[in-house]
């Protein structure tokens, strides 16, 4: 008799758990009403009114966000990729050297983390990133370190390339 009672209680407990899980997943999609008395669509206001005490710290005008810049790979332009930790920067930096379709693709050799990315008409780099030049300006250099370091590193690389016989 005790065995029958325990089986019955187990079935009831499993049924209650199943119903609770079912209600949590299916219930919000149904219009069963909400505890606050408002409809479900009113509670999901995607654009709530802004906090009147919030002060915008940074302002980016629309014309700045929508501006287009011409990048001349055959000229003197250089892309400096600022790698920021925990933002997908490693994936994007690797994508720049491996997957972008270029006239002269970057030369990535197996087993090496660095790739050589030369301009189509000469042996100068057009990309300054961790995957093309390594950690030339230090580990995880920030904006100020890069602006002070990049011109000198590029000058050294160009002068070294000019000294090697072709």
Please provide the average confidence, as pLDDT, over all residues in the chain: 78
Q: Are 138 and 125 in contact (CB under 8 A)?
A: no
Please tell me whether residue 73 adopts helix, strand or coil conformation. coil
Give the model's confidence band at 166: pLDDT under 50 very low, under 70 low, under 90 confident, else very high.
very low
Please name the residues in contact with 141: beta carbons below 8 A apart, sequence gap of 6 or more. 135, 149
Q: Give me the active site residues, please.
A: 140
pLDDT in tens, 38-69: 555 555 555 567 677 777 777 778 888 888 88
pTM, to two decimals: 0.53
Instruction: Please answer whether residues 131 and 115 qualify as being in contact, where contact means their C-beta atoms are separated by less than 8 angstroms.
Output: yes
Give residue-wise pLDDT tens across range 110-160: 888 788 888 888 888 888 888 877 778 877 778 888 888 888 888 887 777
Q: Kindly report, residue by residue over 4-45, the tens digit of the pLDDT.
A: 788 899 999 999 999 888 888 776 666 555 555 555 555 555
What residue ranges in 61-164 does DSSP mark as E strands? Answer: 79-80, 107-108, 115-116, 127-128
Assign 165 a pLDDT band (cuts: 50, 70, 90).
Answer: very low
CA dist 46 to 49, 50, 63, 85, 144, Å? 10, 11, 26, 29, 37
C-alpha span between 81 and 69 (Å, rounded):
16
Three-state DSSP at 115 gives: strand
Is the pLDDT confidence value at 75 over 50?
yes
């Amino acid at each position: 008799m005790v065995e029958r009672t325990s089986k019955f209680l187990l079935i009831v407990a499993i049924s209650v758990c199943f119903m609770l899980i079912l209600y949590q997943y299916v219930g919000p999609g149904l219009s069963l009403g909400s505890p606050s008395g408002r409809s479900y669509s009113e509670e999901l206001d995607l654009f709530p009114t802004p906090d009147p005490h919030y002060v915008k710290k940074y302002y980016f005008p629309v014309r700045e966000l929508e501006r287009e810049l011409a990048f001349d790979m055959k000229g003197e332009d250089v892309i400096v990729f600022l790698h920021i930790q925990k933002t997908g920067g490693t994936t994007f930096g690797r994508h720049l050297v491996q997957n972008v379709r270029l006239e002269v693709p970057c030369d990535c050799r197996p087993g090496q983390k660095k790739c050589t990315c030369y301009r189509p008409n000469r042996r100068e780099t057009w990309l300054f990133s961790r995957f093309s030049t390594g950690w030339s300006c230090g580990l995880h250099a920030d904006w100020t370190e890069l602006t002070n370091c990049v011109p000198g590193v590029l000058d050294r690389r160009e002068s070294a390339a000019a000294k090697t016989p072709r």
